[in-house]
Amino acid sequence: MAIREGAWDCAYCGRKRNRGPHRHCAGCGVTRGRDVEFYLPEDAAEVTDAAGLAAATAGADWTCGSCAGDNRAGDGFCGNCGAPRDGGAARPVYDVPIADAGLPAGRPASGAARMGGRPPRFTPYTSNGVSRVASWTQERAAGPSVLTRLLCAVAACAVLALFLLPAVSSRAGSDSRSWSEVSQAGGFPEFAAPRTPPEPPDHDENYTVTAAHWERIRLVYGPVTRTREDWEGQVPAGARELSRSQQIHHYDKVQTGSRTRTRTHTERVQVGTERTSHTERVKTGTRRVKTGTRNLGNGYFQDVYKNEPVYGNKTVYSTKPRYENRTRTETYQEPVYEQQPRYRTKIRYEIDEVVEVRRETAAGAAPAEPRWPAVELRAGELRVANGPEAYMIDLIGESGARHTRAFESLAEWLDYRPGAACTARVTYTGRIRSLALAPVAPPATAPAPASAPAPVEAGAVDEPPRAE
Ligand SMILES: [Zn+2]
Ligand SMILES: [Zn+2]
């Protein structure tokens, strides 16, 4: 923390290098004032005496408000004119980086701004101030115009949307495809749901029954002899065995022996270790570096230091395992397999089965009532059963359309006699969706019971199975 004595130049008589602590010019005796800058000469000697060090560390000089002369920090009255200190400002204390040592460039701007009648040698504040004011004015000028432009753009969009929306939606009524194209291209997705055209409604039409016809089928069953084959144990009861033979049922995988084979293994084995090293940069200590000087404001300068880390290289050793591939050959026994057939007994046999051998059909139209066909069992036939039955009517509409309609039940069919009037719900494609009899007076005579089956031959009565 060496302290050295600075110097100052007299602006009045031009004398260079007055001693820093001196408050009067050695050439003309003029008082040192605030507009005088201190500097540190290259060859300035270090201050070592107690009085000098005390003066250096006493604090910055203050400037008299009356005569502008400098005074020691401890003085209460101006040594030049005798005025009390009373607010006389201290000279600035500031650091000068090492590159600019001795030059006033690092001096705070406020100190320079307070300098008196002489034009300042450096005026960063003034130039900065001007440019800052200028740029602030530009911002002020630019601010509202940007805002105005933004507002105009938003307003224009809103107006455009107001005009566009009704125009587009009025088009939507006449041409939905172009509307969906518009909405896909840009913008109003809530209106883009596709619409399927509604189906045209049904209509009622009056029909007249022109004919009512029926069909009934009876099925005749008889025995047939079939020849089949099955594995022993799976032959059905009642079968008559014809022959038996040994046949391959399945194959088993059986080990019949083994053979000796060799194979090689490659393994990664550790064969030792290897020593490696690398260099690391480590902090080995700190050193003090002079970074500049401090203008103490009283003609003295003090060196400024900082601590800086010092780095060095360090070699770090480590060991790691070393591997090699080792190959070894081994022998082993490999099993040998064979597919061996397994035989079982297969039986060929005859068996009698009852199947439908023929069918008889009866058909007719109202006023003939439905009946089952008469069947006589022939030789070898076993039985007869009622089969499918069908009940249909033909219709003609007032528009001339003709339909045939089938009924699920005989009772329903019986309601639709030829000549009966009915009302149909008809789809736009002409299909009859539902049919209802027009209200008419009930017929004078009830129809004969029709569900009674026709009499059948003795020994052949069965409940009618509807399905085959
Ligand atoms: Zn002078
Ligand atoms: Zn004074």
Given this model, what pLDDT does residue 109 score?
39
CA of 10 to the centre of ligand 1 (A): 5
Task: Give the Å distance between the CA of 30 and the centre of ligand 2.
Answer: 12
How close is the Cα of 85 to the center of ligand 1, in Å? Answer: 25
The pLDDT, as a whole number, for residue 441 is 56
Q: What is the pLDDT of residue 172?
A: 39
Q: How far is the centre of ligand 1, averaged over its atoms, from the C-alpha of 296 (Å)?
A: 22
Distance 113 CA to ligand 1 centre (A): 24
CA of 97 to the centre of ligand 1 (A): 29
Contact indicator for 393, 257 with CB cutoff of 8 Å: no
Measured in Å, how far apart are the chain's first and last C-alpha atoms?
Answer: 122
The long-range contacts involving 56-59, CB below 8 angstroms and separated by at least 24 positions, are 56/3, 56/296, 56/298, 56/300, 56/302, 57/3, 57/296, 58/298, 59/90, 59/297, 59/298
36 CA to middle of ligand 1, Å? 12
Element spanning 125, H or E: helix 124-174
CA of 11 to the centre of ligand 2 (A): 19
Distances (CA, A) of 253 to 135, 247, 339, 341, 344: 97, 18, 5, 9, 17
Regions of the chain with pLDDT less than 50: 101-148, 152, 157, 164-190, 446-468
Contact yes or no for 116/99 (Cβ under 8 A): no
Find out whether 454 and 374 touch, Cβ atoms under 8 Å: yes
- Cα 425 versus chain centre, distance: 53
pLDDT at residue 45 in the model:
86
- What is residue 116's predicted lDDT score, i.e. its pLDDT? 37
Tell me, in angstroms, the distance from the centre of ligand 2 to residue 26's CA: 19
C-alpha of residue 85 to centroid of ligand 2, in Å = 9
Torsion of CA 203, 204, 205, 211, to 10 degrees: 120
What's the CA-to-centroid distance between 177 and ligand 2, angstroms?
A: 96
Q: What's the 64 CA to ligand 2 centre distance in angstroms?
A: 5
